[in-house]
Homo-oligomer: A and B are copies of this chain.
Amino acid sequence: MLVVMRQEASADAIDRVVTTIESMGYEARPIPGKQRTAVGLIGNDGRVDSARLEGLEGVLEVIAVSHPYKQVSREWRSEDTVVTLPNGTRIGGREIAVMAGPCAVESEEQIVGIARTLRAMGATILRGGAFKPRTSPYSFQGLGEEGLILLARAREATGMAIVTEALDREGLDLVVEYADIIQIGARNMQNYPLLRMAGQSEKPVLLKRGMSATIKELLLAAEYLLAEGNSQVILCERGVRSFDTHTRNLLDLTSIPVVQALSHLPIIADPSHGTGIRSKVTPMARAAVAAGADGLMVEVHPHPEMALSDGAQSLFPEQFEELMAQIRVISQALDRELVAPLDAPGVDDTSAVPKSAEVA
């Protein structure tokens, strides 16, 4: 940490900075320059509160040199974290994982049907909301535990792993019980009690970037999870707030290589929430893979025009199939490949796979 003094700062002011740093338990090193003096704080362990220094007389600004996060950083752990799911899907290695499914679980027919369709097309992880954070209190809020039970049935029927969102302690306990990955949504990225609980669970966590979170804040939110002992963390870029209204959010794909340089954690992209518009999902899903994403989360609905939420951003199944074909090609350009499709289910299961309804 570097405390930059004003040009006109007195020797007394500089001394006070030095003694304040020392009283905080660190070493201070004044660096006189041509125009002004700066004082280096040596030994920053990430716990220094710069506010104490910013407030001192004669201080122009305090510049962080170390990053405030520790365990999520590449400097803490240089090799990539790979999260492995019960069905064998690995996230964070050479393979690219695909999570797909409807915004919300609506019925057994809907979720089991679409799961079979998606599995057949190569997805190995099923998404679907049981607890939905909705901007309006009057919108559909999800089926709750009933939705989780239906997700578990879809897993049974297809072998896909399940990812679904938790909003509070009660929901988290249920999600841990039924699902394979706990999703922490964008609106809860800085819900610290929820992060601590998820950090204490033994399930992998998918942590979505907040709507206006900097990458530093995203990594610090993940640090809450690792600080509680859970290192099975997957980050997710899902678009940030911007000034243009053509899309719901601005999908910040540069965050992918930026995060990969700073952290060992895998990062995927959600182009469905990232754009909010069906016709933009496929181009941006392709772009995310080309930018180096370790996976995708894509909304697919058997009948988007009938969806209870987010229908306008859900792909039709045949669009998803085409997307899978395209990203298979793109992944070669990066010397990567998609996670292998799940083995064909047993005879009984196969017979149960609906033929054309979901695909048409």
Which A residues contact B (CB, under 8 angstroms)? 2, 4, 6-8, 20, 29, 31, 33-36, 38, 40, 42-44, 46-47, 49-52, 54-56, 63, 65-66, 68-70, 75, 133-140, 167-169, 171, 187-188, 190-194, 210-212, 214-217, 220, 223-224, 227, 240-247, 250-258, 261, 274-275, 277-280, 283-284, 286-292, 304-314, 326-327, 329-330, 332-334
Contacts and interface: CB of A to CB of B under 8 A. Distances in A.
29 contacts: A2-B65, A6-B75, A33-B40, A34-B42, A35-B75, A38-B65, A50-B312, A51-B312, A52-B307, A55-B314, A137-B227, A138-B227, A169-B169, A171-B193, A214-B245, A214-B246, A242-B243, A243-B243, A244-B255, A250-B252, A251-B253, A254-B274, A254-B283, A283-B291, A283-B292, A287-B287, A289-B290, A329-B330, A329-B332
Contact of A305 (B43, B56, B223): B56
Contacts of A304: 55
A201 to B, nearest CB: 16
B192 A191 contact: no
Contacts of A286: 290-291, 333-334
A141 to B, nearest CB: 8
A150 to B, nearest CB: 21
A292 B65 CA distance: 34
State how many copies of this chain the complex holds.
4
A242 B193 CA distance: 27
Given A35-B75, A135-B220, A250-B254, 14 more contacts: A34-B42, A36-B66, A52-B311, A55-B278, A55-B312, A55-B314, A63-B63, A138-B227, A171-B193, A212-B240, A214-B246, A240-B244, A289-B290, A329-B333
B40 A31 contact: yes
Contact of A254 (B217, B284, B305, B332): B284
Given A187-B191, A220-B135, A215 B333 contact: no
Most buried by B among A36, A46, A139, A212: A212
Contacts of A54: 277, 311-312
Contacts of A44: 34-35
A55 B311 contact: yes
A69 B43 CA distance: 32
A312 to B, nearest CB: 4
Given A46-B136, A330-B330, A253 B36 contact: no
A312 B242 CA distance: 25
Contact of A138 (B4, B6, B47): B47
Contacts of A215: 244, 246
Contacts of A138: 46-47, 68, 70, 227
Given A240-B242, A283-B257, A330-B329, A33 B38 contact: no
